Amino acid sequence: MFIRSNLFNKGHPLKAERGLSDALDAHKRTVINKIKGITDPNQMTEPACEQIIKEALVAPLVLHFDRMTRQTRTEEIDGSSFPGDFFIERGRRYPKTVVRILVPFSGERDLLQYSPSTAGLTFPRGEVSGNTIQFDILMWGYPDDANRVKQELDSNRNLLETCATRVSEQVKQFNAALAPQIRAEFAAKVAELTQQQGILNSLGIPEEPEAPVLPGNPVASKPKRNKARSDQIIVNIEKIEQMIVQTLNQTNNNQGNVNTAIQGS
Please check whether residue 167 lies inside any domain of the structure: yes
In this prediction the pTM is 0.71
Please check whether residue 6 lies inside any domain of the structure: no
Which of 113-117, 159-163, 251-255 tops mean pLDDT?
159-163
Q: What would the mean pLDDT of 190-194 be, rounded to a whole number?
A: 93
Same domain, 29 and 131: yes
Same domain, 177 and 129: yes
> So what's the pLDDT on residue 262?
35
Please check whether residue 3 lies inside any domain of the structure: no
Q: Name the nearest CA neighbour of 156 among 181, 136, 183.
A: 136
* Residues 73 and 102: beta-carbon distance below 8 Å: no
Q: What would the mean pLDDT of 41-64 be, rounded to a whole number?
A: 94
Q: How many structural domains is the chain composed of?
A: 2
Please check whether residue 251 lies inside any domain of the structure: yes
Residue 127 and residue 114: Cα distance in Å, rounded?
13
pLDDT, one tens digit per residue, over 153-166 is: 999 999 999 999 99
Same domain, 39 and 146: yes
Task: Identify the band that residue 244 occupies on the pLDDT scale cut at 50, 70 and 90.
Answer: very low
Same domain, 112 and 235: no
Same domain, 31 and 96: yes
Domain holding 82, by residue range, is: 20-193
Radius of gyration of the chain (CA): 38
Same domain, 240 and 153: no
Please check whether residue 211 lies inside any domain of the structure: no
* Residues 114 and 19: beta-carbon distance below 8 Å: yes
**219 pLDDT above the threshold of 90:** no
Q: Name the nearest CA neighbour of 12 among 161, 156, 120.
A: 120
Residue 19: what are its φ and ψ, rounded to 5°? -115, -165
- Choose between 62 and 11: higher pLDDT: 62
Last residue of a domain, one of 193, 214, 241: 193
